[in-house]
Amino acid sequence: MKVKVRFFARFKELLGTDIVVDAATGIALNGLIRDIAAKNSEGYDEIFDENGTFKDFVILMRNGKRIDSTDAPQTKIEDGDEIAVFPPVAGG
């Protein structure tokens, strides 16, 4: 199944953006991002902690809806999903 993943800001610099992957059926959100991020150790380390869990500040969205990182292991990816991964956002 085809899934589009977009990384933003620092994550984009390290991993790219508008990545279309042929994801395995039944893969969860955390597994999908882990597989993509594993291609760049620095990018992986920016997103995941030493236990392979999303760092607290990582913002995840699926089809425009925010997904809590603690729900990522139970969030199954479906064909045509668009996933966005953001670092912390600051403003003034």
Tokens, residue 89: 């956002």
Band of the pLDDT at 15, cuts 50, 70, 90? very high
Instruction: Determine how many CB atoms are found less than 10 A away from the CB of residue 44.
Output: 17
Q: Given this model, what pLDDT does residue 88 score?
A: 83
Query: For residue range 52-85, what is the model confidence (pLDDT) as tens digits?
Result: 999 999 999 999 999 999 999 999 999 999 999 9
In this predicted structure, the answer to whether residue 92 has a pLDDT above a threshold of 70 is: no
Q: What is the pLDDT of residues 33-51, one digit of tens each?
A: 999 999 999 999 999 999 9
Burial class (CB in 10 A: 0-12, 13-18, 19+), 17: middle
Q: What is the pTM of this model?
A: 0.91
| Count of Cβ atoms closer than 10 Å to residue 55 Cβ | 13
How far from 78 is each of 9, 24, 28, 86, CA to CA, in Å? 25, 10, 9, 20
> Domain 2-86: which CATH class?
alpha beta
Domain ranges of the chain: 2-86
